[in-house]
């Protein structure tokens, strides 16, 4: 009976030792983790400074969304408001197809027309786009 008790006590001690060991392993695993609300400093008045207070954030998400919306609107206007030739010239000139913007001279060579004619088409197309964007 005494031996049985000894075995029970030993297995209980082993289970407790195992639980303690598991606790320390979990602590070591989480050792490198920080919370943004962790206090990193305090002043004499009892106010604490958290990690979140010291991190600066450049929040330009709204500006990026506005720019993206404007690009979508411009592409839609180019597609819907311009003649096919005007649309092609504006798309090539300003790189709206995801390619690099081209000069009037490059576009003229590609289309087989003069640079001054490209300039006139571009100017007319930009006026149409301006009117469409302003809702006229």
More confident of the two residues 68 and 90 = 90
What pLDDT does 68 receive?
83
Which stretch of DSSP H or E encloses residue 48? strand 48-50
What pLDDT does 54 receive?
66
What pLDDT does 23 receive?
74
**What torsion, rounded to 10 degrees, do the Cα atoms 9, 14, 17, 18 define?**
-140
* CA dist list (Å): 65 to 70, 78, 84, 98: 9, 20, 29, 18
| pLDDT over 90, % of the chain | 32
What pLDDT does 67 receive?
82
Is residue 119 left, alpha or beta, with left meaning phi > 0 and alpha meaning psi from -120 to 50? alpha
């Amino acid at each position: 009976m005494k031996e049985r008790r000894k075995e029970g006590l030993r297995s209980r001690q082993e289970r407790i030792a195992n639980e303690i060991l598991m606790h320390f392993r979990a602590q070591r695993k989480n050792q490198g983790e920080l919370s943004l609300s962790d206090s990193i400093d305090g002043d004499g008045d009892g106010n604490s400074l958290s990690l979140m207070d010291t991190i600066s954030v450049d929040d330009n998400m709204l500006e990026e969304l506005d720019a993206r919306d404007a690009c979508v609107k411009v592409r839609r206007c180019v597609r819907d408001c311009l003649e096919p030739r005007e649309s092609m010239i504006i798309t090539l000139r300003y790189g709206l197809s995801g390619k690099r913007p081209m000069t009037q001279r490059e576009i003229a060579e590609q289309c087989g027309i003069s640079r001054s004619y490209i300039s006139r088409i571009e100017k007319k197309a930009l006026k149409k786009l301006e009117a469409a964007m302003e809702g006229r």
